[in-house]
Amino acid sequence: MKTILAFLPLLVLLITRCGLNSSFTPSVTEEDWGWQDGKAVKLFTLTNRNSIVLKVTNYGATITWISVPDRNGVFEPVVLGFDSLNEYVAVRGGYGSVIGRYANRIGGAQFILNGEKYTLTANSRGNTIHGGNKGFNKQVFDIDTSYVKGDSVKVAFSYLSPDMEEGFPGNLLLKVTYTLTVENEVVIDYEATTDKPTVVNFTNHAYFNLGGCRGSILDHYLMVVSDSICEVDIIGLPTGRLLPVAGTAWDFNYARLVGSRIDAVKPGYDNTYMLRREGDGIILAAEVYDTVSGRVMEAFTTEPGMQLYTSNSDRKTIGHDGNEYGRYYGICLEMQHFPDSPNHPNFPNVVLDPNETYRQTTIYKFSTK
């Protein structure tokens, strides 16, 4: 009996450091967060059995907060975000939001589909980026449901994008479901249908910072499962070619510091990686590790590509707890199809027809080492 009692304090310490609480019940709560475009905006707080917290709002189907423990059990936020709806309405950059109808760029703000030319909103140097002037990140989604199922917590949003919104054809219905699992995964499931042929490319634009969002991500280690990137021109449009990364500053097949070669790609990384895969299904795309906190994030996806973005803008803003976000304060791992795919037949198909259902799954899994 004395031996067992001697080990009890150590057992309690280990449980605390792992952020576990065996008596904690997974939960989801909802609170009013304001009004936008005549619609009610809500903030949902999802908590799992390990005290991991995920906050999402139906404004832009946005992740506003994820908090996970470091190796010592100290919880801190690991995504850049803001404390009020007004800040999300005002800010540029789609912090944590769902991007659509087409994430990334479409060259010349136009494409041809089934012989018909479609002209889109030109909002970036004569091109379309992230869906136009008012993409999905600035729309108020409908709230479908929120609930606890076993050890998982879920909330689902949907948005009906009307025919020709920002120039895109078809009435498109997108459903986005966030799930927080007991394995400390944030799972994002996308499902979309349309009544006319259209093009789609969805992603989430979360800016991750495993150091508690207090400093840059240049000292984070990054590994990307990819052998090539999309070659782009001076304004970021794909040429249609894929370039091998071996021996270049874009090669992260082995974990390297994000900042170790960033001077060679000034102002920073903003590239689409073709992920290495065999067949369909979900694969590991990337892993990020912060040596100071010990936090690790693995990113999985069903998509063919991942946009790596290192928050290269000099524009500064104030986020959670008064933290100032600036250049290199966040790293984005945006799971998606390739940019400008409608104008490059050799790229993976992005056409969605009325008799089809688009599906995508992205997972961000957190741990420590």
Indicate which residues carry an active-site annotation. Answer: 205, 334
Contacts with 314 (C-beta within 8 Å, 6 or more apart), sequence order: 326, 327
Strand extents, DSSP E, 150-276: 152-161, 172-180, 185-194, 198-199, 203-204, 220-224, 226-232, 238-244, 256-257, 270-275
d(CA 290, CA 213): 12
d(CA 325, CA 87): 13
Helix, strand, coil proportions of the chain in percent (round to 5)? 10, 45, 45
d(CA 287, CA 308): 12
Contacts with 189 (C-beta within 8 Å, 6 or more apart), sequence order: 176, 177, 179, 359, 360, 361
